[in-house]
A = this chain, B = another copy of it.
Amino acid sequence: MAQEGNIVIQSVDRAIQIIRCFEDNEELGVTEISRMIGLHKSTAFGLISTLEANKLLEKNDNTGKYRLGLELFRLGTKVNSTLRHIAVPYLEQLVRMYQETVNLVVVDDLYVIYLEKVESTRSMRISTMVGGRLPMYCTAVGKAIMSNLHAGELESKLDRMEFIKHTDKTICDKRSLMESLEIDRRNGYSEDNEELEIGLICIAAPIYNHFNIPFAAISLSGPTSRMNKSFRREIARTLIEYTQEISMKLGYRKEVR
């Protein structure tokens, strides 16, 4: 499961594999797990016990099976906490202003991962999954980040991407994606106009860290019916303003071009 030719401690690696088993299974037994990763039952047992002692796994005494533990959740909430603490008030303000669902994502190689969302209270609204992962090329947030990467970085990503045509409007080739990104870069924001899902429009702007690298983004998503052109433009303006403020708080200094 581990990648590089780097040094890897076998037992730790196996323990992490065990945790991963629970991604698609709420409850698993020792034997079940040991079969999933091809370990001896007693080997798996030792690893599982260690995880349990640390509350990364919890044992269901009624079934004898295990599930993910609360400590894993608690530790997970500590990831990228500065960004989240800084950004969340802005997300809330955006929802208050526009009554549409707002998201905060960070980049993870070719994907964006949804870190936080604040939902509008409307009945018809866009609902994404915190902890979810989507390809960069078909999301406004992904494009907002990509459009501000250095040429080399961008190239490297584009070359490794596999494009899937989610809708008629999905941008599916490197060429047109690069053109579109160039426009976004000039505008300072990106749009996803039903490129992932028909009926869904997103607008996003990038967040920079103190190395001046765009690594995160904020988006606002709504149904096409409510997202007319002037509204979108207004939203974009606010997003740009807010993401700049967030970037500043993270230590970003606007470069002189």
A interface residues (Cβ-Cβ under 8 A, vs B) = 1-4, 6-9, 11-13, 15-16, 19-20, 22-23, 26, 45-47, 49-54, 56, 62, 68-70, 72-82, 92, 95-96, 106, 108, 113, 115, 118-119, 121, 129-131, 133, 211
Contact = CB atoms under 8 A, between A and B. Distances in A.
Given A73-B76, A76-B79, A78-B131, A92 B68 contact: no
Contacts of A80: 68, 70, 73
B76 A26 contact: no
B211 A62 contact: yes
A53 B118 contact: no
Given A76-B75, A130-B77, A211-B62, A113 B12 contact: no
Given A56-B16, A62-B211, A92-B119, A50 B9 contact: yes
Given A49-B6, A82-B26, A72 B74 contact: no
Contacts of A77: 73, 76, 129-131
A interface majority secondary structure:
mixed
- The residue in A62, A95, A131 that gathers the most chain B C-beta atoms within 10 A of its C-beta is A131
A68 B75 contact: yes
Contacts of A115: 73
B108 A121 contact: no
Contacts of A52: 6
Given A72-B72, A76-B76, A76-B131, 12 more contacts: A2-B50, A9-B50, A11-B12, A12-B47, A13-B50, A15-B15, A68-B75, A73-B77, A73-B113, A73-B131, A76-B79, A77-B129
Contacts of A119: 92, 118
A6 B51 CA distance: 11
Contacts of A12: 11-12, 15, 47, 50-51
